[in-house]
Amino acid sequence: MEETHVPVTVVTGANSGIGRATALHLASVGHRVVGTVRAVGKAEKLLALAADSDLTIELVELDVGDDASVKAGFEQILEMTGRIDNLVNNAGVGGNAVVEECPSDVYLDVFNINVVGATRCTQAVLPSMRERGSGTIINITSVAGRIASLAQAPYVASKWALEGVSEELAQEVAAFGVRVAIIEPGVTKSSIFAKNTDVPNSTGAYETLYRHMFRFYMAGRVHATDPLEVGKTIEHAITTADPQLRYAVSWCSPEMSALHDRIAYDDWIELGKIDDEGEYAKRFQQIFGVEI
């Protein structure tokens, strides 16, 4: 008889938003969850929510933006658990700026977290997954990884890059019995709204585009999906017998992600030329089927 075990799942960036909801949900359905956080002392809400539901979330301090921290953190996790069955690369940061106004250091900082951070963690778990012949790596991208979100150049670039890395990885590890899934959330309820309000506006030439971007996210705040929905989608991606590469989830993502290869060039360019907010919202809905 094949030996059964409790699946060990690591969720990076587990202290808030999608990461916290995913960690709690997976623990509730029987996973042994290790959440990585940058500071255990700031994880009081996560631990309180876990305690309220009689769940256990084990925490390890880890900065996905630092090679040494990731190496030490995953060594600690493997010492604690003996194995890692699933990795959820959730840790990430936003970044607002049009292309012209985005400083190079912002691109590098966002890429270091959103792209290189995910690959650092992936590199830490793959050797044991390959040796064992099983494992699942879940990469959290975004609807902005399929449709370029206006005035968020560093964020869009990083999420598109992570989509590409994920596609490549899925082929590279298939022969070893390791699966890869890309989760593409739209707008979910999160504290990121309060943290992601700065724009450079250094030239003053793109004020209209920044207004359009914030209008979209204002609509997103009204319709934002509970991050638990993303957590349930991640559980499905891990457990399903009929896996797929991409899962679009949350407000606006299923509608917009599906249109990536079908948007007419003229429609895309036209949006950039519309100054009136009402007209922009009307045209946006006509193209994407999403009311903002």
Give the Å distances, CA to CA, from 109 to 106, 143, 160, 186. 5, 21, 16, 22
Q: Give the contacts of 50 (CB within 8 A, at least 6 positions apart).
A: 24, 27, 56, 57
Helix residue ranges per DSSP H, the chain: 17-28, 44-52, 67-81, 104-111, 117-132, 153-174, 192-195, 207-223, 228-239, 253-257, 265-273, 277-288
Q: How far apart are CA 128 and CA 84, in angstroms?
A: 8
User: Which residue of the set 107, 155, 210, 280 is catalytic?
Assistant: 155
| 210 flagged as catalytic | no
User: Which residues are identified as catalytic?
Assistant: 155
